[in-house]
Chains A and B, each alone.
Chain A
Amino acid sequence: MEKFLDKLRSNSLLIKILSVMLLSVVCVATLTLSISIRASEDVYVDTFTQSNSQIIGQIRENMSRFNDEISEIMSVVKNNWAFRSYLTSDDRSSATASYTQYSMVWNLEHALPPDYFEKMSIVLVGVNGSTYLSSDAGLTIPVEELLNSRVTEETRRQPNRILYQFVDDGFTTLTQGDSAIVASTGLNYAGGQSNYGYAYVIIPQEVLRNFYSSFSSDANSLMLLDSDGRIISSTQKEIIGFKDLDLLSIAQQVEQEDLPYGETVQSDRQMAVVAQKIPHWEFHLVGLIDRESILRAVDRHKSIEIMTLLVVLCVFAIMFFVVRKTTRPINSLVNEMKKVTQGDFSRHIPVKGNYEVRELATAFNYMLDGLDSYMEQIMTMEDEKREAEIRALQMQINPHFIYNTLASLKWMIWQGNSESAVQAIDSFSRLLRGTISKREERITAAEEIDNLKDYVFLQHLRFGEQIQVRFSLAEDCQDCLMPKLTLQPFVENAFFHAFSGAEEGSIFVCIRRRGNDLVSEIIDNGSGMKKEEVGRTLSKGGKADHFTGIGINNVDDRIKLLYGAPYGVTISSAPGKGTAVTVTIPIQRMD
Chain B
Amino acid sequence: MNYGLYTYTMEDIIAQSLQSIMQGADMDETLKTRRHKRVHRFSTHNFWIQPLTKRSVEGEKPG
**Which of A's residues lie within 8 Å of B, judged by CB?**
81, 84-85, 88-89, 91, 94-96, 98-99, 102-103, 106-107, 110, 189-190
Contact = CB atoms under 8 A, between A and B. Distances in A.
Contacts of B63: 81, 84, 189-190
Contact of B49 (A88, A103, A190): A103
A81 B51 contact: yes
Contact of B19 (A81, A88, A94, A102): A102
B46 A99 contact: no
Given A103-B49, A107-B48, A98 B62 contact: no
17 contacts: A84-B60, A84-B62, A84-B63, A85-B59, A85-B60, A91-B59, A95-B22, A96-B57, A96-B58, A98-B19, A99-B22, A102-B16, A102-B19, A102-B49, A106-B45, A110-B45, A189-B63
A81 B62 contact: yes
Given A85-B59, A189-B63, A106 B22 contact: no
B15 interface: yes
Contacts of A89: 59-60
Contact of B23 (A91, A99, A110): A99
Contacts of A84: 60, 62-63
Nearest to B62: A81
Interface centre among A98, A106, A189, A190 (most CB of B within 10 A): A106
Interface of B: 15-16, 19, 22-23, 45-46, 48-49, 51, 57-60, 62-63
A98 B51 CA distance: 13
A522 to B, nearest CB: 155
Contacts of B62: 81, 84
Nearest to B49: A103
B29 to A, nearest CB: 18
A152 B48 CA distance: 30
Contact of A98 (B22, B45, B48, B59): B22
Nearest to B44: A110
Contacts, number: 39
B60 A88 contact: yes
Contacts of B51: 81, 103
A85 B22 CA distance: 18
Contacts of B59: 85, 89, 91, 96
B26 to A, nearest CB: 16
Nearest to A189: B63
A88 B61 CA distance: 12
A147 to B, nearest CB: 21
A190 B62 CA distance: 12
Contacts of A99: 19, 22-23, 57
Contact of B46 (A95, A103, A110): A110
Contacts of B23: 95, 99
A106 B15 CA distance: 11
A96 B52 CA distance: 11
Given A84-B62, A89-B59, A102-B19, 12 more contacts: A81-B51, A81-B63, A84-B63, A85-B59, A88-B60, A94-B58, A95-B23, A98-B22, A99-B22, A99-B23, A106-B49, A107-B48
Contacts of A91: 59
Interface centre among A81, A94, A103 (most CB of B within 10 A): A81
Contacts of B45: 106, 110
A81 B63 CA distance: 7
A107 B63 CA distance: 17
A95 B45 CA distance: 23
A110 to B, nearest CB: 7
B9 to A, nearest CB: 14
A99 B21 CA distance: 11
A221 to B, nearest CB: 40
A189 B60 CA distance: 13
A190 B48 CA distance: 22
A81 B62 CA distance: 5
Identify the 10 closest CB pairs spanning chains A and B, nearest first.
Answer: A81-B62, A95-B22, A189-B63, A103-B49, A96-B58, A99-B19, A102-B19, A106-B49, A96-B59, A84-B63
Contacts of B46: 110
Given A81-B51, A95-B23, A107-B49, A102 B15 contact: yes
Contacts of A94: 58
A332 B16 CA distance: 112
A89 B57 CA distance: 13
A473 B60 CA distance: 178
Contacts of A106: 45, 49
A81 to B, nearest CB: 4
Interface centre among B45, B49, B58, B62 (most CB of A within 10 A): B49
Contacts of A102: 15-16, 19, 49
B63 to A, nearest CB: 5
Contacts of B16: 102
B52 to A, nearest CB: 8
B17 to A, nearest CB: 11
Contacts of A189: 63
A94 B16 CA distance: 16
Interface centre among A84, A85, A91, A190 (most CB of B within 10 A): A85
Contacts of B60: 84-85, 88-89
